[in-house]
């Protein structure tokens, strides 16, 4: 099975020249790893040019965030249709950095639903800011999932990628333990099964199956040295990678480790 790697460049690099250089290195890494599906999420201002210069099929593109609105008086926002026209097939939704700026669970849910309507794949980010001994973080993640999938038809549940990112691990060099991540992948699937097979759905057994087959990614301090053990032991199917994705040498080593 192919693993999925999302390279989230965040607000990097500062120039188009550097973005092209980083993308060329990223593309080379992808082309040498046949069992990795690579999705690059550059700053939106670089997206169209990078997509135009790439003729291959080994790399797909994502927008880092988008509005659920189709068009109108939303200064500074980017619509999903605009992103799709620029070459994006995916959109990151509910990233912890956007949630920290005020994006609500319900707002993220609207983007998930709108993305599916226009034929894009949402990469839904969920995760707690801190862990507690009494397991409150599970309730926190469950509420994020419930709101995000509120308007998703049971038949489209598997069209959403779920990226679990424990906020307390982001930006560091040490992941959570693969065992704890395995517990979370099971919890996420059970939560989705409960939602998609219930809630008045007429899909019967299809809802249950859909929830079990959702692809789950891990995000939070993923590096070239810890990616493979996480992939092998956590039940996750890939990663959303932040700071390592803008270091061409380290990112190539990470991709290589998965091969």
Q: Percent of the chain at pLDDT above 90?
A: 86
Annotated catalytic sites, by residue? Answer: 95, 165
Q: What is the pLDDT of residues 202-239, one digit of tens each?
A: 444 455 568 999 999 999 999 999 999 999 999 999 99
What pLDDT is stored for residue 259 in this prediction? 87
Whether 132 has a pLDDT exceeding 90, the answer reads: no
What domains does the chain contain, in order, with CATH numbers? Answer: 3-258 (3.20.20.70)
Cα–Cα distance between 80 and 112 in angstroms, integer?
Answer: 10
pLDDT tens sequence across 7-60: 999 999 999 999 999 999 999 999 999 999 999 999 999 999 999 999 999 999
What crossing angle do the helices spanning 248-258 and 16-31 adopt, rounded to 10°?
20
pLDDT confidence bin for 133, thresholds 50/70/90: confident
**Is the predicted pLDDT of residue 198 greater than 50, yes or no?**
no
* pLDDT confidence of residue 22: 98
> What's the pLDDT at 208?
55
- Whether residue 172 is predicted with pLDDT greater than 60 in this model: the reply is yes
Q: Is the pLDDT of residue 157 over 50?
A: yes
In which band, very low, low, confident or very high, does the pLDDT at 165 lie, cut at 50, 70 and 90?
very high
Mean pLDDT value of segment 92-116: 98
Q: Mean pLDDT across the stretch 117-125?
A: 98
What band does 197 get if pLDDT is binned at 50, 70 and 90? Answer: low
Q: Mind giving me the DSSP string for the chain?
A: --EEEEEE--S--SSHHHHHHHHHHHHHHHHT-TTEEEEEE--HHHHHHHHHT---SSEEEEES--BSSSSSS-TT--BHHHHHHHT-SEEEES-HHHHHTT--HHHHHHHHHHHHHTT-EEEEEE--SS--TT-HHHHHHHHHHHHHTTT--GGGGGGSEEEE--GGGTTSS-PPPHHHHHHHHHHHHHHHHHHHSSTT-S-THHHHHHHHT--EEE-SS--TTTHHHHHHHS---EEEE-GGGGSHHHHHHHHHHH-
- Structure-model confidence comparison of residues 247 and 169, the more confident one: 247
Q: Is the pLDDT assigned to residue 176 strictly greater than 70?
A: yes
User: Comparing 186 with 135, which gets the higher pLDDT?
Assistant: 186
């Amino acid at each position: 099975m192919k693993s999925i790697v999302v390279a989230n460049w965040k607000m990097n690099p500062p120039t188009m020249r550097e973005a092209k250089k980083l993308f060329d290195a990223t593309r080379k890494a992808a082309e040498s790893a046949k069992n990795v599906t690579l999705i690059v999420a550059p700053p939106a201002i670089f997206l169209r040019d990078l997509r135009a210069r790439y003729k291959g099929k080994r790399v797909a593109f994502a927008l880092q965030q988008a509005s659920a609105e189709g068009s109108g008086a939303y200064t500074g926002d980017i619509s999903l249709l605009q992103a799709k026209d620029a070459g994006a097939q995916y959109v990151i939704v509910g990233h912890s950095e956007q949630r920290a700026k005020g994006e609500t669970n319900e707002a993220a849910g609207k983007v998930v639903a709108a993305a599916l309507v226009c034929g894009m794949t949402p990469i839904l980010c969920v995760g707690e800011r801190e862990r507690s001994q009494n397991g409150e973080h599970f309730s926190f993640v469950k509420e994020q999932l419930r709101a995000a999938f509120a308007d998703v038809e049971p038949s489209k549940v598997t069209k959403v990628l779920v990226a679990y990112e424990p906020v307390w691990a982001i930006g560091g060099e040490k992941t959570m333990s693969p065992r704890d991540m395995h517990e979370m992948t099971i919890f996420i699937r059970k939560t989705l099964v409960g939602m998609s097979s219930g809630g008045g759905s007429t899909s019967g057994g299809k809802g249950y199956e859909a929830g079990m087959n959702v692809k789950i990614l891990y995000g939070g301090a993923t590096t070239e040295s810890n990616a493979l053990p996480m992939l092998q032991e956590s039940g996750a199917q890939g990663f959303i990678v932040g700071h390592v994705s803008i270091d061409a040498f380290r990112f190539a080593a990470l991709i290589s480790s998965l091969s």
